Amino acid sequence: MSHWRVCRCVREGPLGARHSSSVVQHTESSVVRPFSEIPGLWKNSVANLYNFWKQDGFKNLHRIMVQNFNTFGPIYREKIGYYDSVNIIKPEDAAVLFKAEGHYPRRLNVEPWTAYRDYRNRKYGVLLKSGEDWRSNRVILNKEVIAPKVQENFIPLLDEVGEDFVARVHKKISRSGQNKWTTELSHELFKYALESVGAVLYGERLGLLLDYIDPDAQHFIDCITRMFKTTSPMLYVPPGLLRRLGHHVWKDHVEAWDGIFNQADRCIQNIYRSLRQDAAPPQTYPGVLARLLLLDKLSIEDIKASVTELMAGGVDTTSITLLWTLYELARQPNLQEELRAEVVQARAENQGNMQETLKHIPLVKGAIKETLRLHPVAVSLQRYITEDIIIQKYHIPAGTLVQLGLFAMGRDPKVFPRPEQYQPSRWLRTENQYFRSLGFGFGPRQCLGRRIAETEMQIFLIHMLENFKVEKQRHLEAQSTFELILVPDKPIVFTLRPLHG
């Protein structure tokens, strides 16, 4: 097979506008083909939507993408309903894509989410904003949420949540009277994730790991799950239409977001009130929300909108990644022991100092990357390109929606040798990692919660590996299903056994 050189081709037009050249262009090895020749299913969008629906595409989007790459090769065009996109799979092509994302990178708009905000007249937060509005908010949020310096503040808060989770599991084990706890862990992990993100955002504990849980908090978790579940059926049908028809999916979606916003509003009100009552500035780290309020650089409405989105984005994403990590470690007891040995050594060498321990657990960090390779939260990363590019010898004009198939890339043997094997050590080698670890996205629009999520997941694994052996039912094999994010298609029952005593 010949190798096509990938390059960008942009011409400045009059007035500095960028536009594509209509003439056929040449790379080193071949002629550049026009956009209209990209292989794929894009000529009959209605028939495609019908077939997609017949294949249960809403649940199988990730597998259909793999199938399409197998059929058409490393680039294909697709039109389903009103979505028209070019799909790519190679890391080198991802590099070209992200170079063309412009100053204000734009992802695929999640229409049901913006439709809800428009319907309820609520402001967009950083997740949904665009243009200069997004950038000016994001720059301020970056300093308080993702900058390496602020991460240090999160560690003690997250460590405390990790310790409480371990204490809760020990309690469950002792109550069972069988020296083990067998359970479908996902609800516990949701609580851990919300407790963690709540601690970082509000500097306060929500109390979700106690025996009695505030019913509002449980309702909030249920609403997030429902919000994701009801989003995917509305991706290909205009939410406005479903709203006019009074369809139950739209109604459920609205109820779910209402629940999310109400709970976030309550938390935000509490912090706001206590900040106004305290005359002196806080002595210890007060949490992201208080810092943003004290900083006074964003309007209260903007702060509320983004903090709500951080809360909503911070639960299922990390809890499901942890669930998959435990699943993979339960499948490979020897690997679990290797990770445990690394953790025990790092803890001993750093006398329990969590900040230092986190610098010495490369295999644990590799495990999280490996989980996101095989079970990415996002099926694809998307950008509307702001300039013409050439990928795989095809010309793609500015304005096109280009998607990098993250799930498909993670399982492509040309990108990852023996992709079916879960091997955290593959991330330790000096092998080419160029544009391969993209679970949190890339560039200025990458995941804002990345540092919170990484620290939270690493601390969780440290505590769990130090304290428990994780097993699962021997024959249980889980696959991913698409509910806007990828989630396991069946409950996974784990058995946790104490390592000591």
**What is the SS3 assignment for 349?**
helix
As a whole number of angstroms, the distance between CA 137 and CA 299 comes to 10
Contacting residue, 448, 461, 470, 484, with ligand HEM by CB under 6 A: 448
Residues in contact with ligand HEM, counted by CB under 6 A, come to a total of 27
Distance CA(440)–CA(219), nearest Å, equals 27
| Region near ligand HEM per CB under 6 A, out of 85-93, 224-232, 344-352, 441-449 | 441-449
The tokens for 343 are: 């953790």
Residue 197 is a binding residue for ligand HEM (CB under 6 A): yes
Of 330, 363, 378, 461, the one binding ligand HEM (CB under 6 A) is 378
Angle between helices 333-349 and 316-331 (to 10 degrees): 110
The only residue of 192, 427, 440, 460 in contact with ligand HEM, by rule CB under 6 A: 440
Residue with tokens 């998307």: 382
Does residue number 449 form part of the binding site for ligand HEM (CB under 6 A)?
yes
Q: Is 447 annotated as a binding residue?
A: yes
Tell which phi-psi region holds residue 420, choosing left (phi > 0), alpha (psi between -120 and 50) or beta.
alpha
Tell me, residue by residue from 133 to 172, as one string, x for binding to ligand HEM by CB under 6 A and - for no binding.
-----x----------------------------------
Region of 260-268, 343-351, 438-446, 467-475 interacting with ligand HEM (CB under 6 A)? 438-446
Q: Please report whether residue 314 would count as binding ligand HEM according to CB under 6 A.
A: yes
Instruction: Compute CA distances 316 → 146, 161, 220, 330, 398, whole Å.
Output: 19, 17, 12, 21, 34
**348 vs 428: CA distance, rounded Å:** 22
Instruction: Supply 446's token pair.
Output: 């990458």
- Give the nearer residue to ligand HEM in terms of CB position, either 249 or 259: 259
Query: In residues, how long is the chain?
Result: 501
Long-range CB contacts (within 8 A, 24+) of 354-361: 354/155, 354/156, 354/159, 354/459, 354/462, 355/152, 355/155, 357/462, 358/155, 358/455, 358/458, 358/459, 358/462, 361/458, 361/462
CA distance 126 to 298: 12
Cα 326 from Cα 465, distance rounded (Å)? 10
Stretch that binds ligand HEM, among 55-63, 269-277, 343-351, 375-383 (CB under 6 A): 375-383
480 binds ligand HEM (CB under 6 A): no
Instruction: Name which position in 447, 459, 484, 492 contacts ligand HEM (CB under 6 A).
Output: 447
Q: Binding ligand HEM by CB under 6 A: which of 198, 287, 313, 424?
A: 313
Residue pair 166/467 in contact (Cβ under 8 Å)? The answer is yes
Residues from 344 through 373 that contact ligand HEM (CB under 6 A) = 372
Question: Tokens standing for 492?
Answer: 């996974």
Segment lying near ligand HEM (by CB under 6 A), choices 1-9, 20-28, 183-191, 306-314: 306-314
- Least Å distance, CB 20 to ligand HEM, is 24
Q: Please, are residues 148 and 155 in contact by the beta-carbon 8 Å criterion? A: no
Stretch that binds ligand HEM, among 159-167, 239-247, 256-264, 311-319 (CB under 6 A): 311-319
Give the residue among 461, 457, 456, 469 at the shortest CA–CA distance from 498.
469
Segment interacting with ligand HEM (CB under 6 A) among 84-92, 254-262, 333-341, 443-451: 443-451
Q: Does residue number 309 form part of the binding site for ligand HEM (CB under 6 A)? A: yes
- Please pick, from the candidates 126, 146, 209, 461, the single residue that binds ligand HEM as defined by CB under 6 A: 126
User: Judged by CB, which is closer to ligand HEM: 41, or 288?
Assistant: 288
Binding residue for ligand HEM (CB under 6 A) from 94, 127, 169, 293?
127
Nearest partner of 133 among 293, 295, 299, judged by Cα: 299
d(Cα 57, Cα 66) in Å, to the nearest integer? 12
Q: Which two tokens stand for residue 196?
A: 């963690």
Least Cβ distance, residue 342 to ligand HEM (angstroms): 21
Of residues 94 through 113, those in contact with ligand HEM by CB under 6 A are 107
> Do 341 and 403 meet the contact criterion of CB atoms below 8 Å apart?
no
Spacing of C-alpha 212 from chain mean position? 30
402: contact with ligand HEM by CB under 6 A: no
**Site for ligand HEM (CB under 6 A): which residue of 344, 446, 495, 497?**
446
The least CB distance from residue 484 to ligand HEM, in Å, is 12
CB under 6 A: which stretch of 72-80, 202-210, 223-231, 377-385 binds ligand HEM?
377-385
Residue range at the interface with ligand HEM (CB under 6 A); choices 163-171, 214-222, 386-394, 435-443: 435-443
Q: How far is the CB of 442 from ligand HEM (least distance, A)?
A: 5
| Closer to ligand HEM by Cβ: residue 112 or 313 | 313
Which residue is listed with tokens 């644990």?
Answer: 364
Using left for φ > 0, alpha for ψ between -120 and 50, and beta otherwise, residue 207 falls in: left
Q: Is 325 in the site for ligand HEM (CB under 6 A)?
A: no
| Binding stretches for ligand HEM (CB under 6 A) | 107, 126-127, 138, 197, 309-310, 313-314, 317-318, 321, 372, 377-378, 381, 439-442, 445-449, 452-453
Q: Which residues make up each annotated binding site for heme?
A: 447
